[in-house]
Amino acid sequence: MTTAEYQGAALGERVPVGGRFGWLMTIYRYALVILLALVFVFPFIVMLTTAFKVSDEIFMAPPELLPRTWTLDHFIGALTQIPFFRFLLNTVVIAGLSVLGTVLVSPLVAYSLSKLRWKGRNLLFIMVLATMMLPPQVTLIPIYMMWNKVGATGTILPLVIPAFLGTPFFIFLIRQFLLSVPDELIEAAKVDGASEFRIYWSIVLPIARPALITSAVFQFVWAWTDFLYPLIYLNEEESYTLSIGLYSFLGEHGVQWGPLMASCVLFTLPAFLIFLVFQRYFIGGIATGALK
């Protein structure tokens, strides 16, 4: 895997076209791809338009896509009825710390697994692979007991600390990337007498930047969307993330579709923005096959 491929730059266009009815084929191709995109995007459109409908219109059979009367009430309701900004801040803190842990630690381990030669390295790599496959349900309860014993349930520690101990997926991803970095670069620095950590810090990390950014954006979105772990560990409304906040919002107010859709829009927006900015890193990460 080369750097270029990794970043998705190599995903060019290929299949040749021709013939006298080329323009017809062009229309056909675009029709197909628009249809495909529509299937994925249509639910977003419904989410958005429902959020702008007044309650009476939401409950209309048959449903209509566009609101007859546009209203911002549901957004105002969502922002005032639930402590949205509190949840947002909590989510940002958890996601931010997880990202920090991931970019600090996962490349360290990946470096050890790709560029350092030591006895037991392969065993450790197998351990990384094995943990990627392990159903989290198996470890859920004992880990909960452990955090409870040290009094960390109800805090964000159980949600953040794992990232500082290396996430198998990202270790794997960065390792694969580093394997494609020529050893010569490192050897040269070695000859110059640089310490291993210096080599790692000033040579390896800058080269691994694309893989690090991919890991960071995926970690961010995972932390952003995580549900089960905040559900288990956070027990005070003040510390709720948006996932849990949204879920209990339904619990306390029944299914109020307008405000609910409005909060879903607000909830999805940050992840959406991150995605727009870092799109090529997402696609690059996906192309490695390790992440989705």
Binding test (CB under 8 A) with another protein, winner from 111, 160, 211, 262: 111
Q: Which stretch binds another protein (CB under 8 A): 72-80, 81-89, 205-213, 236-244?
A: 236-244
Pair 255, 272: CB distance under 8 Å: no
Task: Say whether 53 sits in a helix, a strand or coil.
Answer: strand
Binding test (CB under 8 A) with another protein, winner from 19, 23, 151, 193: 151
Which residue is associated with the tokens 């960065």? 174
Handedness of CA 263, 264, 267, 272 (dihedral sign): negative
Kindly state whether residue 123 participates in binding another protein, applying the rule CB under 8 A.
no
Kindly state whether residue 279 participates in binding another protein, applying the rule CB under 8 A.
yes
Kindly state whether residue 33 participates in binding another protein, applying the rule CB under 8 A.
yes
Pair 181, 147: CB distance under 8 Å: no
Handedness of CA 64, 69, 70, 75 (dihedral sign): negative
Gyration radius of the chain's alpha carbons: 24
Kindly state whether residue 207 participates in binding another protein, applying the rule CB under 8 A.
no
Binding test (CB under 8 A) with another protein, winner from 219, 224, 262, 281: 224
Beta strand spans in 72-127 (E): none
**Residue 209 Cβ vs another protein, minimum distance, rounded to whole Å:** 19
Binding test (CB under 8 A) with another protein, winner from 3, 58, 96, 100: 58
CB nearer to another protein: pick between 70 and 122: 122
**Residue 120 Cβ vs another protein, minimum distance, rounded to whole Å:** 7
